[in-house]
Amino acid sequence: MLMIRRHLDASTTGHADAVPLELVFDTRKRSRHRLTLPDGRELAWALMPGLTLRPGDRLQADDASVFVVLAAPEPVLHVTADTPIALTRAAYHLGNRHISVEVGDSYLAITPDPVLRDMLDQLGVRVDAIDAPFQPETGAYGGGHKHGHDATFAEDYALAQAVFHRHELDLSPLRDPHER
């Protein structure tokens, strides 16, 4: 069995002979996984918890072979609207449910869910069931949903603090609005 323990992000150059590895989103967000390749070889990985593989990322196996991650087509609900406000409203309601959402140019995509589809129908947007690669947003700070025990928490916390300090509110005492 080929074992992968090394993740190389998409910015890593070289490896022109990398083997394509088409994976659906649910598989790309697993830190440990085992699968059978089309040629019959067994492949497994044990990667850092919380890591979501992105298209273009490379994985290096213990035999030095390299695989390039591709987003495999999978069932998704493709959401479009006649107006930007209607699509924004749909995005708001989907985000309020804390689900994975792909945000594209004039569309949203989510994994199929009959309750959410009904909600979207009631909002008056178009919803089409299609097969397409699914690449949802990873979160405002690039790392997705984190918990205090994740290995990357300190890095994400530092980034969030930097954003906060750039936009810190003036906490000076409030003046009477009638004073000049």
143 belongs to a structural domain: no
Residue 103 maps to which CATH number? 3.30.70.790
Q: 103 and 66, same structural domain?
A: no
Residue 34 maps to which CATH number? 2.60.260.20
36 belongs to a structural domain: yes
The pLDDT value recorded for residue 11 is 73
85 belongs to a structural domain: yes
Q: 51 and 108, same structural domain?
A: no
What is the signed CA dihedral for 143, 149, 155, 157, rounded to 10 degrees?
Answer: 90
Q: What's the chain's average pLDDT?
A: 84
User: For 139-179, what is each residue's pLDDT tens digit?
Assistant: 765 554 444 444 455 655 666 666 655 555 544 455 555 55
Task: Give the mean model confidence (pLDDT) for residues 33-40.
Answer: 93
pTM of the model as a whole: 0.73
Q: 46 and 7, same structural domain?
A: yes
The pLDDT value recorded for residue 147 is 43
The pLDDT value recorded for residue 143 is 52
91 belongs to a structural domain: yes
- Residue-number span of the structural domain to which 89 is assigned: 73-133
Decide which of 71, 98, 125 is a domain's last residue.
Answer: 71
